Amino acid sequence: MHRPLAQSAINRKAAQIHLLKRFSETKNYQEGMCGAPVRNRSATIPAVNWPLYAVAALSVAFRFLARSDWAKGAGYWWDDWSILVALCLITAGSSITTEMAHLGLGKDMWTLEPSHISDILFYFWIDEFLYIATLSITKISILCLYLRIFPSTVSNRFRIATFILMAISIIYAVVLEFIILFSCEPIDYFWHMWDGEHEGSCLNTNAEIFAGAGVNIAIDIVILVLPIPKLLGLEVSFTKKIGICLTFLVGGFSIICSIVRLQYLVQWGNTTNPTWDYTQVAIWSSVEGAATIICACMPQMAGPVKRFYGRTVSKVSSAGTKKYGISGSSGSHALELSRRDEPPSKSNAIAKTVSVSATYDGRSQRATSEEELVGRSEVGWPTTVGYTHDYQKQWSP
């Protein structure tokens, strides 16, 4: 794949960088003697990286808290465990990126020790694996969330489309990981080609970059728009429809990050100063990875936030229970009655309490925060799903 076409360009690049290596000591000496400024953006990398990572970690922690038994959540499923795996991967990626900054990423390569240059390129190679894995697993988490919100009773076609997208995401990740693994022959030529002292060949870097990024952006767009028709079909006010759609579409920010990162990747593919030019790639990789995880947790956080500020769709008050003789237990959902719902009292009435319970698909009698966001009864669930109520019936003997 493009090895003969790319080899001459790679050889020219290697020759140019080889000259930089030979004159690096002279360059350092001249800058020290003449007082020339030394460019250094290394501190910017962890300054951007770790705050975003902290927000992503807090988002995942809040998500797991909202789903816990302590918070009367619905429990954990594959969407939760997969996002936890993505957080572990981005933790490793953030640590590697920080180590690259300590080695000299963000500085001109001729100001660095030769061994540090090779180490930075090696870590970059490892970081690409983690980057692809993080984004792909986050996609799977979002798709699992769709399966959780919209069961087969709502739309089999929607679920089939979701499974197809999940398969495409997995295949894309596996293929791209193999391309990165064998992009150079021998493999270690990837981080040694810069010195001009090693022999090898590599794939066409720009073709690899455009193909990988193009497919990634296309998958992201399809995943974002997939649930929109279902969300627009909800029997709620137009304002609420827009709010729900925006909660899901906030993931569009990760697409913007992918596009920005692509521009810097193309620049890096033609660079003769990788330790300087890769700085923006590292920064935007961190931004995209963290933003993707944060956006994937937004729907789960919407319901608990609404409850926290007292804007739940329905509530049960102890006063209502006493007045109307109706009790409800639904975890994060509740039942709200108005005074006009109270049946007229009769002095000779006989009261009988009937307990009715309903569950769906063997799931807990608790509502997930996403289901609270879209409203179960609005997307095809029976109104009593997930509830346990006592209905009081009155009649005259």
Share of the chain above pLDDT 70, in %: 62
Query: Model pTM greater than 0.85?
Result: no
Residue 333 lies in a domain: no
Strand partners, 185: 201
Report the CATH number at residue 300.
Answer: 1.20.1070
Residue 347: the pLDDT is: 46
Residue 382 lies in a domain: no
pLDDT at 258 over 50: yes
Q: Which amino acid is at 32?
A: G
Residue 192 lies in a domain: yes
The predicted model gives 216-243 an average pLDDT of 80
Residue 3 lies in a domain: no
Q: Which of 1, 9, 3, 8 is nearest to 269 (CA)?
A: 9
The predicted model gives 377-381 an average pLDDT of 38
The predicted model gives 279-295 an average pLDDT of 90
CA dist., res. 312 & res. 307, Å (int): 5
Given pLDDT bands bounded at 50, 70 and 90, which one contains residue 260? Answer: confident
Residue 188 lies in a domain: yes
pLDDT at 121 over 50: yes
Q: Which amino acid is at 143?
A: L
175-197 pLDDT, tens per residue?
Answer: 999 998 988 889 989 888 887 78
57-67 pLDDT, tens per residue?
Answer: 999 998 888 88
Q: How many Cβ atoms sit within 10 Å of the Cβ of residue 206?
A: 16
CA dist., res. 294 & res. 55, Å (int): 7
Residue 19 lies in a domain: no
The predicted model gives 286-292 an average pLDDT of 90
201-217 pLDDT, tens per residue?
Answer: 888 777 777 888 888 88
- Spell 221-253 as b/e; 16+ CB within 10 A means b: eebbebbeebbeeeeeeeebbeebbebbbbbee
Domain around 96: 41-313
**Overall residue count recorded for the chain in this entry:** 397
pLDDT at 272 over 50: yes
Residue 199: the pLDDT is: 84
| Phi, psi (rounded to 5 degrees) for 330 | -140, 15
Residue 362 lies in a domain: no
Q: How many domains does the chain have?
A: 1
Residue 177 lies in a domain: yes
Q: Using CA of residue 30, residue 33, residue 38, residue 42, what is the dihedral sign?
A: positive
CA dist., res. 137 & res. 131, Å (int): 10
CA dist., res. 130 & res. 128, Å (int): 5
Top pLDDT among 346 and 248 is at 248
